[in-house]
């Protein structure tokens, strides 16, 4: 019953989730194989969006709670590497494709 | 101040648009930049947006972002194009690790007020993030040659047992949240171990599937964390990555004619299948022989595989291509969808060497061209040209579509030594009458052939 309530409270989220799954399928389904690698590293960079969770964690931590602060800190560093590095390396690859 | 949250919508649209543009060659670069702007905007909003229990801690956040950006840029600048698959896995692992850090923290913040669904979601984020983290690290280690494959008969049973164990632990924990305070840490450890044991036995030739799958898992972890923080961008961004990663995984599986379950459970490479007797009939050839044959060919097809990446031979291929083209010989490249260690791996390397799109043929095109091909030059490809896939029902790769090089007139295989492919499967192509083997470093061999052909008129 509790699970049912959770689903009910998040019904909008769940709808969105389903729609986005289909949207993701549609967007990617016909991608040419030449773009598989850039697409993967680009979407990999986007998965670093989890950084927002780490930012919220740090913002909500007591300034003296060093355990929370440092794990949030490490989380942000790692996710930033994922985001910034991912987009940068994707750009480097696509630049090579562009030359011709 | 409520308006700030509206900008999350803008950043979601930018992410969608960016991903859409990334999947078409002419707009891909712009798409990547647009997605990056969307990410930046989302991060900015998450810092400025007013939230409950805000303690600021801005220095921590900005410091971490600066440090992370610096490391990320450095990595991205320095990496060799041949090492891209490893780098993508590593970055992916970092994203998963971030999900682990935040989820374990949220878990320890639980009091009696959380619903089962909320707790379950948080633990799921912890589990999926943990698997993506250690799984990606192992994939990185394998691609960097630091971790060897670990195959044995029991790994698939162990994995199944362990997976069920992880889920049972999570269920037990959300129904008895305060019984054992250390249990969340046990769940964390179990998830990390599952990531290791799940990827470790999977062979190198299956890496394109695994990397795409791990990518999807990180996206799903991000989406679950988005539900935990009630944050739309995280949810949508994560799901987009998750679903696109799954599509790519399925495309890779289809290219190998295998089901995802078959890849995960293994079997590829773990089956010992050898035709030892045929090994003796291998015919070696020399640089000068290959050079003369190429000089007098009309159509040459270069077939790159992981060995080209290892030998960094892509530029040498392009130079040979230039020399031959100047002498009026047609040179094309045949690329199998799962050649290399990640989806599209060979395309990136050939692009790095300035090979034009029009010369790169996909499997169907190439198979239609082989009958007119005088010489197939196989540069470090193995399983994707293995004819057992067509005619040997006992072979572990039977049924996988391959580049049918045997339709061509002559085949030259550049290979370091007479070992089997990464997947450990014997390749009868090497002992075929049409095939000649040229042992040695692929890059050096190609450079020597090129030098030799240049001196001919």
Distance from CA of A8 to the nearest CA of B (A): 11
Judging contacts by C-beta atoms under 8 Å, the chain A residues touching residue B219 are 43, 46-47
Judging contacts by C-beta atoms under 8 Å, the chain B residues touching residue A83 are 36, 39, 43, 68, 72
Judging contacts by C-beta atoms under 8 Å, the chain B residues touching residue A23 are 16, 240, 243
**Is the confidence at residue B396, as pLDDT, over 80?**
no
Contact at CB, A33 and B102, closer than 8 angstroms: no
Q: Which of B64-73, B82-91, B244-253 has the highest mean pLDDT?
A: B64-73
Q: Does B215 touch chain A (CB under 8 A)?
A: yes
**Is the confidence at residue B85, as pLDDT, over 50?**
yes
Q: Does B126 touch chain A (CB under 8 A)?
A: no
Q: Which helix (H) or strand (E) holds B410?
A: strand B410-415
Distance from CA of A15 to the nearest CA of B (A): 11
Judging contacts by C-beta atoms under 8 Å, the chain B residues touching residue A14 are none
Judging contacts by C-beta atoms under 8 Å, the chain A residues touching residue B51 are 56, 59-60
Q: Does B53 touch chain A (CB under 8 A)?
A: yes
Average pLDDT over residues B84-100: 94
How does pLDDT run across B107-124, given as a tens digit for each residue?
Answer: 988 887 888 888 999 999
Provide the pLDDT confidence category of residue B449 given band limits of 50, 70 and 90: very high
Among all residues of chain A, which has the CA nearest to that of B102? A54
**Is the confidence at residue B421, as pLDDT, over 60?**
no
Distance from CA of A12 to the nearest CA of B (A): 10
- Of residues B19, B25, B212, nearest to A34 (C-beta): B25
How does pLDDT run across B347-382, given as a tens digit for each residue?
Answer: 889 988 989 888 999 898 999 999 999 999 999 888
How does pLDDT run across B310-336, given as a tens digit for each residue?
Answer: 888 999 999 999 999 999 999 999 999
**Is the confidence at residue B419, as pLDDT, over 80?**
no
Are A42 and B244 contacting, i.e. CB atoms less than 8 angstroms apart? no
Q: Does B419 touch chain A (CB under 8 A)?
A: no
Provide the pLDDT confidence category of residue B66 given band limits of 50, 70 and 90: very high
Residues 6+ apart with CB under 8 A from B109: none
Q: What is the pLDDT of residue B274?
A: 42
Q: Which residue has the tokens 């410091």?
A: B63
Active site residue B383: yes
Structure tokens at B270: 């773990």
Q: Does B54 touch chain A (CB under 8 A)?
A: yes
Q: B240 or B268, which is more confident?
A: B240
Judging contacts by C-beta atoms under 8 Å, the chain B residues touching residue A19 are none
Collapsing DSSP states into helix, strand and coil, what is residue B300?
A: strand
**Is the confidence at residue B95, as pLDDT, over 80?**
yes
- Of residues B81, B243, B352, nearest to A25 (C-beta): B243
**Test mutation, B94, B231, B343, chain A, max A CBs within 10 A:** B94
**What is the CA angle B144-B146-B148, rounded to 5?**
110
Judging contacts by C-beta atoms under 8 Å, the chain A residues touching residue B77 are 88, 92
Contact at CB, B16 and A23, closer than 8 angstroms: yes
Which residue in B354, B383, B391, B457 is the catalytic one? Answer: B383
Among all residues of chain A, which has the CA nearest to that of B341? A37
Q: In 10 A of CB B142, how many CB atoms?
A: 25
The per-residue b/e assignment along B387-412, b for 16 or more CB within 10 angstroms, e otherwise, is: bbbeebeebbbeebbbbbbbbbebbb
Blockwise average pLDDT, block size 10, chain A, 100 residues: 74 82 82 84 93 94 90 96 95 77
Among all residues of chain B, which has the CA nearest to that of A88? B76
**Is the confidence at residue B416, as pLDDT, over 70?**
yes
What is this structure's pTM? 0.83
Contact at CB, B237 and A95, closer than 8 angstroms: no
Judging contacts by C-beta atoms under 8 Å, the chain B residues touching residue A87 are 32-33, 35-36, 39
Contact at CB, A35 and B25, closer than 8 angstroms: yes
B31 by Cβ neighbours in 10 Å (0-12 / 13-18 / 19+) ranks as: buried
Whether the predicted interface score ipTM is above 0.85? yes
Distance from CA of B344 to the nearest CA of A (A): 5
Distance from CA of B409 to the nearest CA of A (A): 28
Are B385 and B402 contacting, i.e. CB atoms less than 8 angstroms apart? yes
Average pLDDT along chain B: 87
**Is the confidence at residue B54, as pLDDT, over 90?**
no
Q: What is the pLDDT of residue B430?
A: 87
Domain ranges of chain A: 1-30, 36-100
Distances (CA, A) of A18 to A29, B11, B116, B225: 17, 20, 21, 16
In degrees and rounded to multiples of 5, residue B386 shows phi and psi of -80, 110
**Is the confidence at residue B424, as pLDDT, over 70?**
no
Q: How far apart, in whole angstroms, are the C-alpha atoms of residue B340 and residue B85?
A: 9
Contact at CB, B101 and A81, closer than 8 angstroms: no
Q: Which of B226, B220, B153, B162 is nearest to B189 (CA)?
A: B162
| Pairs of CB atoms within 8 A across A/B | 380
Contact at CB, B116 and A2, closer than 8 angstroms: yes
How does pLDDT run across B244-274, given as a tens digit for each residue?
Answer: 899 889 888 888 877 888 777 654 444 444 4
DSSP B436: E
Q: Does B17 touch chain A (CB under 8 A)?
A: no
């Amino acid at each position: 019953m509790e699970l049912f309530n959770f689903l009910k409270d998040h019904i909008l989220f769940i709808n969105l989730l389903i729609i986005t799954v289909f949207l993701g399928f549609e967007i990617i389904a016909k991608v040419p194989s030449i773009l598989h690698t850039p697409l993967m590293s680009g979407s990999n960079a986007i998965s670093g969006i989890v950084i927002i969770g780490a930012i919220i964690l740090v913002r909500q931590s007591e300034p003296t709670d060093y355990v929370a602060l440092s794990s949030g800190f490490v989380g942000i560093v790692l996710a930033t590497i994922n985001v910034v590095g991912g987009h940068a390396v994707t750009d480097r690859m696509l630049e090579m494709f562009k030359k011709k | 101040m409520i308006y700030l949250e509206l900008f999350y919508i803008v950043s979601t649209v930018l992410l969608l648009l960016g991903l859409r543009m990334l999947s078409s060659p002419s707009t891909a670069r712009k798409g990547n930049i647009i997605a990056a702007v969307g990410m930046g905007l989302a991060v900015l909003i998450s810092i400025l947006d007013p939230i409950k229990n805000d303690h600021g801690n801005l220095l921590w956040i900005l410091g971490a972002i600066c440090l992370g950006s610096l490391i990320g840029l450095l990595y991205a600048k320095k990496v060799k194009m041949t090492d891209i698959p490893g780098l993508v896995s590593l970055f992916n692992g970092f994203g998963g690790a971030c999900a682990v850090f935040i989820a374990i923290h949220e878990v320890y913040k639980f009091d009696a007020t959380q619903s089962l669904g909320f707790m379950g979601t948080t633990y799921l984020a912890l589990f999926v993030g943990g698997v993506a983290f250690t799984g990606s690290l192992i994939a990185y280690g394998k691609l960097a040659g630091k971790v060897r494959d670990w195959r044995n008969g029991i790994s698939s049973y162990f994995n199944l047992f362990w997976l069920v164990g992880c889920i049972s632990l999570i269920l037990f924990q959300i129904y008895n949240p305060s019984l054992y305070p250390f249990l969340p840490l046990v769940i964390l450890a179990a998830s990390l171990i599952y990531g290791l044991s799940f990827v470790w036995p999977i062979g190198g030739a299956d890496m394109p599937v695994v990397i795409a799958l791990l990518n999807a898992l990180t996206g799903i972890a991000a989406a679950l964390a988005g539900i935990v923080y009630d944050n739309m961008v995280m949810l949508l961004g994560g799901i987009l990555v998750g679903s696109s990663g799954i599509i790519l995984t399925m495309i890779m599986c289809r290219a190998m004619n295998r089901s995802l379950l078959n890849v995960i459970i293994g079997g590829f490479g773990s089956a010992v299948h050898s035709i030892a007797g045929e090994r003796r009939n291998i015919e070696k050839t020399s640089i000068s022989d290959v050079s003369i044959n190429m000089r007098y060919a009309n159509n040459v097809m270069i077939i790159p595989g992981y060995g080209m990446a290892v030998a960094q031979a892509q530029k040498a291929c392009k130079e040979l291509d230039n020399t031959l083209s100047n002498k009026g010989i047609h040179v094309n490249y045949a690329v199998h969808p799962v050649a290399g260690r990640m989806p599209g791996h060979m395309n990136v390397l050939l692009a790095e060497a300035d090979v034009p799109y029009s010369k790169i043929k996909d499997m169907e095109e190439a198979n239609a061209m082989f009958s007119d091909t005088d010489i197939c030059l196989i540069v470090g490809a193995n399983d994707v040209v293995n004819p057992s896939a067509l005619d040997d029902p006992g072979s572990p790769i039977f049924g996988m579509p391959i580049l049918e090089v045997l339709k061509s007139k002559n085949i030259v295989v550049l290979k370091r030594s007479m070992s089997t492919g990464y997947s450990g499967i014997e390749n009868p192509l090497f002992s075929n009458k049409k095939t000649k083997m040229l042992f040695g470093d692929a890059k050096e061999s190609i450079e020597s052939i090129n030098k030799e052909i240049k001196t001919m008129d």
